[in-house]
Chain A
């Protein structure tokens, strides 16, 4: 998948725990997007980040979810106090500067909540 690295590939958490999903964009890409795919549903936009900035978080649930893309290191999607309904595949995509640019996707993190 063209160099976008997501980890872990699979993550199991118990209700109430925290989940941290990581995404390293392709080399040279400064734009990161997070998408969620609930079971048997389509993909939905969550958040768009550039280095140290959240550009659009209109798809993020208002509580328990946060995202960051620090100056150094991967982008992190953090889910606090997970619930069963958070079980989904979370995909990260990255793109270079300029609009529009093709987005390159990672392999996703499958989050399962026990």
Chain B
């Protein structure tokens, strides 16, 4: 079993839908990253959080340290949100351990 599990692995939705991607982890962490990767492209860090909730535009990330669970939400989804979303936990001296990613496709 991976230390970081994401669900779903693939998600297809229509433009405008509310999107939720989940991340569960089994190890002690100091913080958690949500990352975005476009096909053939680089990686962008969307959030780093260690408690509570953060919001940036249409993106919201939450974390529950006791339950070892985090969620990434996208409101009013748009085709340009299509990408792979990756959950990564920070262990020890800032080493990242990654989930397998969630491939999101938003159809117009």
Residue numbers of A with Cβ under 8 A of B are 1, 31, 33, 35, 42-45, 48, 55-56, 58, 91, 93, 95, 99-108
Complex contacts, B52 vs chain A, CB 8 Å: none
> Is the CB–CB distance between A1 and B93 below 8 Å?
no
> Is the CB–CB distance between B101 and A42 below 8 Å?
yes
Interface stretch (choices B17-25, B43-51, B60-68, B73-81): B43-51
A-B contacts, 23 listed (Cβ < 8 Å): A1-B44, A31-B94, A33-B94, A35-B96, A42-B86, A43-B43, A43-B88, A45-B96, A48-B93, A55-B93, A56-B93, A56-B95, A91-B42, A91-B43, A99-B93, A100-B90, A100-B94, A101-B94, A102-B45, A103-B94, A105-B35, A106-B42, A107-B41
Residue numbers of B with Cβ under 8 A of A are 30-31, 33, 35, 41-45, 48, 50, 86, 88, 90, 92-101
Q: How far is B94's CA from A42's CA once the two chains are assembled, in angstroms?
A: 18
Q: How far is B93's CA from A103's CA once the two chains are assembled, in angstroms?
A: 12
**Chain A contact surface mostly:** strand
Q: Which residue of A lies closest to B92 (CB)?
A: A56
Complex contacts, A102 vs chain B, CB 8 Å: 33, 45, 48
Out of B31, B35, B42, B44, name the residue touching A100 (CB < 8 Å).
B31
Complex contacts, A35 vs chain B, CB 8 Å: 96, 98
Complex contacts, A104 vs chain B, CB 8 Å: 45
Q: How far is B88's CA from A103's CA once the two chains are assembled, in angstroms?
A: 11
Out of B31, B33, B95, B98, name the residue touching A42 (CB < 8 Å).
B98
The minimal Cβ–Cβ distance linking A37 to chain B, given in whole angstroms, is 9
The minimal Cβ–Cβ distance linking A42 to chain B, given in whole angstroms, is 5
